[in-house]
Amino acid sequence: MLSVENLNQYYGGSHILRGLTFSTEPGKVTTLLGRNGVGKTTLLKCLMGLVPTRSGSISFNGKDITNAAPHERVKAGIGFVPQGREIFPRLTVEENLLMGLATRPGSTPIPERIFEMFPVLKQMLNRRGGDLSGGQQQQLAIGRALAMGPKLLILDEPTEGIQPSIIKDIERAIRLLAETGEMAILLVEQFYDFAESLADQYLLMERGEFIMRGKGEDMPKDGVREALSV
């Protein structure tokens, strides 16, 4: 679904991303782990076209998107849930969800499965996004990304600052989405237990490069938790 080959990125003279190569598959969760400042968010910005790629290639669904604009990537089927949620606080829940349908015909309804996964959103359709709790805003951000029916869903630290009960809801939703086989999921996470519970494959990043990778089921044996804490 997504294929990244030898991706490099610099900020000034600093080599931020170093020859990254990986791919994602439909129905599978690829978990990217690493401490703050190792380049995870920069990688996602490159994948979304928010930061230009210095060298290497990005292809999606068989097409080269290395130089595609962000809106073209979204239209192609990439849904993005950024770190910090970035919902529209002055818009209602319904209006936020409709923003996720911007690439679809105007009469396209909000998919019912969003409300099945996150019932609180249906109860709060007319409430402003800024009035929701942090966990509810995260559910809204995920729902907005799902509205357009993505083939790839990218989530940047969805558990950050979220209460444990909502984390369980989000975990359940991600697992359900993967099990449908409709989309590939790229999950960027620092919370090891959450990442391990969902990962079909993992990537561990340090100083802009992958230092470990493997199957999700092998994360305990491979010592990923210990590597994260070093």
Domain spans of the chain, in order of start: 2-91+150-229
Give the pairing of strands 63-64 and 78-81.
Answer: unpaired
Confidence grade of residue 163 (pLDDT, cut at 50, 70, 90): confident
CB 79 within 8 A of CB 150: yes
Neighbours of 154 (CB within 10 A): 24
- The whole-model pTM stands at 0.93
Q: Each residue of 93-136: pLDDT tens digit? A: 999 999 999 888 778 899 999 999 999 999 999 999 999 999 99
Q: What is the pLDDT of residue 165?
A: 86
Across 142-155, average pLDDT: 94
- Architecture of the domain spanning 2-91+150-229: 3-Layer(aba) Sandwich (3.40)
CB 110 within 8 A of CB 97: yes
Residues 113, 5: Cα–Cα separation, whole Å: 34
